[in-house]
Amino acid sequence: MGILLKLRRSSPFLLYIFTTILAIYLFSPSHLTTNMLSIFKSDENIEKLKTVNSFESASTLFVTIKGFNQKNREKLLEIEKKLKKLPYIKETKLNTSKVEISDYLKKNYYLLSEFHPISIDNGSIENRVRELKNGLLNSFVYQPIDKNDPFGLFKFNIFTNSKMTKDGFLALGDYGYLLTAKLDSKVSDMESSQKIESQLSNMFKEDKEITLFSTLFFTAQNSKVIKNSVHNILYISFTLLILLFFVTLRDYKVLIANTVTLASSVFVALAFSTFIFEEVSMFTLAFGSAISSISVDYLFHNYFHGQYKRKGIDSSIFIAFLTTILGFLFLEFVEFPLISQLSVFAIISLGFSYFQFTFIYPYFEFTPKPNRLNISWFTNLPKIVPVNAVFIFSLIAISYSSFNIEFDYNLRNLDYKNVELQKKQKIIEDNLPQMTTLLIEGTSPNELIEKAHKLSLIASSVNSISNFAITQKEFKRRYKDIQKYDFKKLKTLLEVNAKLLKFKDGYFSNAYKFVDNIPSRYKADLVRLKEMGYEVLKRDSRFYTMATVKKGSIDKDKLLDGVYIINGLELIKKTTKTMFDSLLIYLFISLFVTIFIISIWVRERIVLALNFILFPTAIILLYLSIVNINIMHLFSIIIIIVAGIDYGIYMSKESSDKNHSKATIEAIFYSLLTSFSGFGILILSSIGAIHSIGIVITIGILSILFLVLFLKRVD
Amino acid sequence: MKLLLKAIFFILLISSALFSRSVDFKEGKYVEALDIFTYRDGNVSYTNQETTIHYKDGKTIVKRDNNLTVYKRNGELLTTIDLGKRVDVSLYFKLTKALFSKDFKSLEENFNLKEIEDKKYIFLPKDSIKNVIKDIKLTLNIDETPKEFTINFENGDIIKIETK
C-alpha cells in the first residue's frame, strides 16, 4: 500500500523524466534551419526561389574606386594580385585585354562561331587576297592575318558586354574601374561568409576610397549584429526577470522552478517538432518560446490563489489551457508551414508546462511571500471603463483597421538596416546595367540551350548559356554547312592568288586545315560552361539554368514556356497572399470554437472575456494600420490572443470576494510583467523582425493591463 | 610684333609640353607574309584622356575613352572603332602608349620585364598574349626617354619605332 502511494506520488516526476529522455532521444538538431524560405508553403513560386538559391554559381565580390585614372587602375591591379592569393577567390576580372580562352572554346571554336561562306570564284578571291595585302601594308594599326582563317569566314564574339569596359579595363558605368571576383562560398553558408567578410574587410579597411561589396557581406555582417543585439536583449531580459522575482516577489524558488519548467517545455516541444518535421524554422523556435512563456500565467494563477497549498485542479486554468490547445489544433490545418509547425510546438510546450504547473508544483507547496511588494494601490485604481463600451470600440477599431491595413511583403525590412553596406550596394547597383534575372527550365540540358537560343531571338540583350553552347539541331546544321562548302577549291584559289600578289611561298599552307578536324559530334560541356559562369543544375529530375536580360527588354506575357522572371519580392508576395487566405479561414474557425467554449464556461460574462482578446487586437491593429503589417507582427498578434484568452477567462471567473479579485489581478500583473521582460523588451532592438515582435507584444501587454486596471466588472 | 609672336609661340610650346607629351617617330614594319619592309613617319601626342597619332602620309588616329576614330588627310572621318569590341587594337594602343610614356607598371599585368643591359629592356609576354607577341625590346636615351622599341610578333612580323 505504502509503495503504491509512493509510486502515485512520484508518477508525475517519472513522467517528466521519461518525456525529457524521449525528447533527448528524438531531438534532431540538423532539421533546424535559418532558411527564410522554409516558413513558406512550398508552391511553384517558392520552388523557383529555392531552385535559384541552390545554384552553386559563387557570389561575386565587387571592388571599385571612384574615377578613371591611372592611379586607380594601378591600385586595383595591386588589389587583384592580393585577392588572387586567397584560397576562396575563384576567378578575378579587371583587365579585359587579358582573356583566358578555355579548352572548351578552343576545341569548339569553329562550331560555336557563325559561319559566313563567300562565293568561290577567282575574281572575288583575287580581290580578297588583294585586300589582305593592302591591310598588311597600309592599315592604320597593325593588322595581322589569321593564318587559319584568312578570309574571316568564322566569326565568334566572346566579348558580349562590351559596354562594361574602359581603357581595356572592366568599368562600373561612369563611376570607376571595376574589379570582380568569384567567391567560393554560398550566401547561405554563415560560417564561411563571416570568415571571408572579416578577412576582406580587414584587408582594405585602411583605404577609405575603395568600395568593397558582395551580397554575402549582408549575411555575414547582419547575422553578427543580430547575434549581438539578441545577446544584449537577453542580458537585459534576464536582469529584469531576476529583479521581478527577487525584488518584487522575493521568491527565488519559484524563479528557479519556473526557469526549469519553461526551458524543459521549450526543449521538449523543439525535440518533438524536429522529429515530426523535415525542416523546422528558427522562427518556429522564437515564436514557440514566446507562446510557451505565456503559460507562466498558469503558474501565477495557481500561486496567488493558494492552489498549491490546497491541491486539486483549478478549473479556470484548465478551461484556459483547453481553449488555447483547441485553437492551435485548428491552426494545424493552415497551409502555412510556420503556422502549422508553430501550433504543434505550442500544443506540446503548453501541454508540458501545464502538466508541470498543475501536477508537479503542488509538491513544492509554493505560496506568495507575505513580504512581497504591495501592489494594492495599483489594484485599487477606480474601475471606470464600461465593458460594453470597450467591446463596441474594439469592434469598430478592428473593422476600421482591416480596411486600412496594408501588408509589407518586403522581407528585407525585417533584417537589420545595414546602412553602410546598403550605400555600397547602391553604388554598384546604380552603375551596373539594370538586368532582370530569368530561370530557364527543361527536361534536358539540350532543351535548356534550345530555349536560351529562342530567348535570344526575342531579346538581343540576353546573357545566357546560348552565348557559348549550341543545340544538337544547330550543330547538325552548321556541321552540314561546313561539310558542304568547297574549302579545297577555296584554298587552291587562295594560294594561286597569293603567289601572284607576291606573298611568301607556303604562307597560307595551313589555311582552312582545321575543317578536317571539326568534331563530328558535339556535346555542351556542362563542367566547362559552369566555369564560364553558365551553370546547369539538376533538381527533382528537371534541368535549370539562369539568364539575365536588360530590364524592360522582355515582355512578361511573351515569355516562352519554362522561362520565368525571378523577382524574389513578387514571388514571395504571391505565395504569402495564398497562405493568408488559408490562414484567415482557419483563424476564423479557431476563434469561433474558442469563443464557443469561453461562452459556455463564462456564460453572461462573455463580453468581458472577449474584451481581453478584442481590445488588445484592436489597439495593435490601429497601430499597424499606420506602419503596415508584416509577417512578424501577425504572429505576435497570435501570441497576444493566446494570452488574452487566458486572462479573459480568469477575469470573468473573478468572484465578488475582494481577496480573490486581488489575487487574480496580481497573477495577471506578474504574468504580464514576465511576458514583457521576456518579449516586450524586444522593442529595444533595431532589427526589423525583432522590433516588430517587441512592439506588438508591448502594445498588447499595455492594453491588457489597461483593462485589468480600469475595466468595470460585471456583477 | 615679331617678339610678341615669338613669345606667344614659346608660351604655347611650353603649355603644350606641360599638359601633353608629343613625340615624333619613325615606324618601320617588317611584313613577313610579303617579306617587305615599310616605313612611315609620324607624331604621337597624348594626355590622360586622349592619344593622337598623326602619320605624315595622311591619316590621323585619335583614341578617346573607349573609341578609336580615324581621319583622312583632309580631316574627313574614315572610321570609328569601339575598342570594347576590338581587344587586339585596344591592347596595341595601350602597349604603344605605355612604351612611349615609359609607363612600365601598366604593362606588368601582361608582361614580365627584364633589364638586359644598361638602358636596354626586354618584355616577355604572359598568358594568352604569348600566342601573338614573342617579345618587346626597349632602348632608352641617356635622359631616360625612349629611344626605340621593337615588337617581335609570333608570326614573324616586326614593328620598330624610333623616336626622333
Q: What is the pLDDT of residues A106-146, one digit of tens each?
A: 777 787 888 888 888 888 899 999 998 888 888 777 778 88
The model's pTM: 0.69
Instruction: Identify whether the C-beta of residue A300 lies closer than 8 Å to the C-beta of residue A670.
Output: yes
pLDDT computed for residue B14 by the predictor: 47
Whether A147 contacts chain B with CB within 8 A: yes
Instruction: Identify whether the C-beta of residue A519 lies closer than 8 Å to the C-beta of residue A454.
Output: no
Instruction: Identify whether the C-beta of residue A250 lies closer than 8 Å to the C-beta of residue A453.
Output: no
Instruction: Identify whether the C-beta of residue A666 lies closer than 8 Å to the C-beta of residue A306.
Output: no
Instruction: Identify whether the C-beta of residue A670 lies closer than 8 Å to the C-beta of residue A611.
Output: no
Q: Are residues A341 and A261 in the same domain?
A: yes
Whether pLDDT at B16 is above 50: no
Domain presence at residue A534 = no
The grid cell for A402 is: 482591416
Yes or no, beta carbons of A100 and B127 under 8 Å apart: yes
3-state secondary structure of A552: coil
Residue B43 CB partners (closer than 8 Å, separation 6+): B22, B23, B24, B25, B53, B54, B56
3-state secondary structure of B159: strand
| Domains with residue ranges and CATH for chain B | 21-163 (2.50.20.10)
Q: Are residues A83 and A177 in the same domain?
A: yes
Angle at A545 between CA A541 and CA A546, to 5 degrees: 145
Best mean pLDDT range from A314-328, A384-398, A447-461 = A384-398
Rounded to an integer, the average pLDDT of A359-383 is 84
The values of phi and psi at residue A34, to 5°, are -100, 0
pLDDT computed for residue A522 by the predictor: 81
The values of phi and psi at residue A40, to 5°, are -100, 155
- Residues of B within 8 A of A506 (CB-CB) are none
Instruction: Identify whether the C-beta of residue A6 lies closer than 8 Å to the C-beta of residue A250.
Output: no
Q: Domain boundary residue among A489, A523, A557?
A: A523
- Residues of B within 8 A of A137 (CB-CB) are 31, 34, 36, 38
Q: What pLDDT band is residue A656 in, cutting at 50, 70 and 90?
A: low
Report pLDDT digits (tens) over B44-102.
Answer: 887 777 888 888 888 888 888 778 888 888 888 888 887 766 767 777 777 777 877 77
Rounded to an integer, the average pLDDT of A459-463 is 80
- Which spans in A244-305 are helix H? 252-276, 282-294, 296-304
- Judge if ipTM > 0.95: no
- Residues of A within 8 A of B66 (CB-CB) are 165-167
The grid cell for A218 is: 549582408
Instruction: Identify whether the C-beta of residue A618 lies closer than 8 Å to the C-beta of residue A394.
Output: yes
Name which residue leads in pLDDT, A135 or B12. A135
Q: Domain boundary residue among A523, A555, A582?
A: A523
Q: Are residues A681 and A622 in the same domain?
A: yes
Instruction: Identify whether the C-beta of residue A77 lies closer than 8 Å to the C-beta of residue B109.
Output: yes
Q: Are residues A654 and A614 in the same domain?
A: yes
Instruction: Identify whether the C-beta of residue A639 lies closer than 8 Å to the C-beta of residue A290.
Output: yes
Rounded to an integer, the average pLDDT of A92-119 is 74
Q: What is the residue-averaged pLDDT of chain A?
A: 83
The grid cell for A215 is: 551580397
Residue A686 belongs to what domain range? 250-414+571-710
- Which residue, among A141, A170, A501, would best test binding to B if mutated, counting the most B CBs under 10 Å from its CB? A141
Q: Are residues A209 and A317 in the same domain?
A: no
Between CA B32 and CA A137 the distance in angstroms is: 11
Domain presence at residue A319 = yes
In terms of Cα–Cα distance, which of A494, A449, A442, A510 is closest to A474? A449
Instruction: Identify whether the C-beta of residue A170 lies closer than 8 Å to the C-beta of residue A91.
Output: no
Q: How far is CA B30 from CA A8, B9, B33, B155, in A?
A: 108, 39, 9, 11
3-state secondary structure of A526: helix
Domain presence at residue A656 = yes
Q: Which residues pair with A165 in a beta bridge?
A: A170
CB atoms within 10 A of CB A205: 10
pLDDT computed for residue A230 by the predictor: 74
Least confident piece of the model among A66-80, A144-158, B21-35:
A144-158
In terms of Cα–Cα distance, which of A580, A582, A584, A554 is closest to A566? A554
Taking each helix axis as running N to C, give the angle between helix A658-678 and helix A215-243, from 0 to 180 degrees, rounded to the nearest 10: 150
Q: Are residues A601 and A653 in the same domain?
A: yes
Report pLDDT digits (tens) over B97-132.
Answer: 787 777 777 777 778 888 888 888 898 887 767 778
Is residue A183 within a helix (H) or strand (E), and if so which, with residue range? strand A176-183
Q: Are residues A91 and A194 in the same domain?
A: yes
Amino acid at A140: F
Domain presence at residue A607 = yes
The values of phi and psi at residue A57, to 5°, are -45, 115
Instruction: Identify whether the C-beta of residue B160 lies closer than 8 Å to the C-beta of residue B31.
Output: no
Whether A157 contacts chain B with CB within 8 A: yes
Q: Are residues A198 and A99 in the same domain?
A: yes
Half-sphere exposure of A442 (CA within 13 A, CB side): 14
Rounded to an integer, the average pLDDT of A661-667 is 85
Instruction: Tell me which residue in A98, A162, A502 faces B110 most closely, judged by beta carbons.
Output: A98
pLDDT computed for residue A3 by the predictor: 61
Half-sphere exposure of A208 (CA within 13 A, CB side): 1
Yes or no, beta carbons of B128 and A168 under 8 Å apart: no
Between CA A59 and CA A38 the distance in angstroms is: 22
Domain count, chain A: 2
Q: What pLDDT band is residue A202 in, cutting at 50, 70 and 90?
A: confident
Angle at A665 between CA A660 and CA A667, to 5 degrees: 95
pLDDT computed for residue A611 by the predictor: 92
Between CA A273 and CA A280 the distance in angstroms is: 7
Rounded to an integer, the average pLDDT of A451-460 is 84
Yes or no, beta carbons of A98 and B109 under 8 Å apart: yes
Q: Which residues pair with B7 in a beta bridge?
A: none
Domain presence at residue A391 = yes
Percentage of the residues of chain A whose pLDDT score is greater than 70: 94
- Residues of B within 8 A of A136 (CB-CB) are 31, 33-34
Between CA A426 and CA B87 the distance in angstroms is: 30
Q: Are residues A406 and A515 in the same domain?
A: no
Q: Domain boundary residue among A491, A523, A555?
A: A523
Rounded to an integer, the average pLDDT of B144-156 is 86
Q: Are residues A193 and A285 in the same domain?
A: no
Domain presence at residue A97 = yes
Q: How far is CA B164 from CA A47, A527, A687, B9, B120, in A?
A: 70, 54, 69, 21, 18
Domain presence at residue A384 = yes
Q: Are residues A360 and A497 in the same domain?
A: no
Q: What is the residue-averaged pLDDT of chain B?
A: 79
Q: Are residues A210 and A148 in the same domain?
A: yes
- Which spans in chain B are helix H? 2-19, 87-100
Half-sphere exposure of B97 (CA within 13 A, CB side): 24
Domain presence at residue A583 = yes
- Which residue, among B32, B34, B77, B85, would best test binding to A if mutated, counting the most A CBs under 10 Å from its CB? B34
Instruction: Tell me which residue in A70, A162, A164 faces B82 most closely, judged by beta carbons.
Output: A162
Instruction: Tell me which residue in A100, A101, A507 faces B33 most closely, judged by beta carbons.
Output: A507
Strand A59-65, strand A176-183: pairing: antiparallel
Q: How far is CA A103 from CA A57, A109, A465, in A?
A: 20, 9, 17
Instruction: Identify whether the C-beta of residue A571 lies closer than 8 Å to the C-beta of residue A45.
Output: yes
Angle at A183 between CA A174 and CA A573, to 5 degrees: 75
- For chain B, the C-alpha Rg in angstroms (whole number) is 17
Whether pLDDT at A478 is above 70: yes
Instruction: Identify whether the C-beta of residue A140 lies closer than 8 Å to the C-beta of residue B66.
Output: no
- Residues of B within 8 A of A145 (CB-CB) are 33, 155
Q: Which residue of A has its CA nearest to B48?
A: A69
The values of phi and psi at residue A312, to 5°, are 85, 175
Is residue A88 within a helix (H) or strand (E), and if so which, with residue range? none
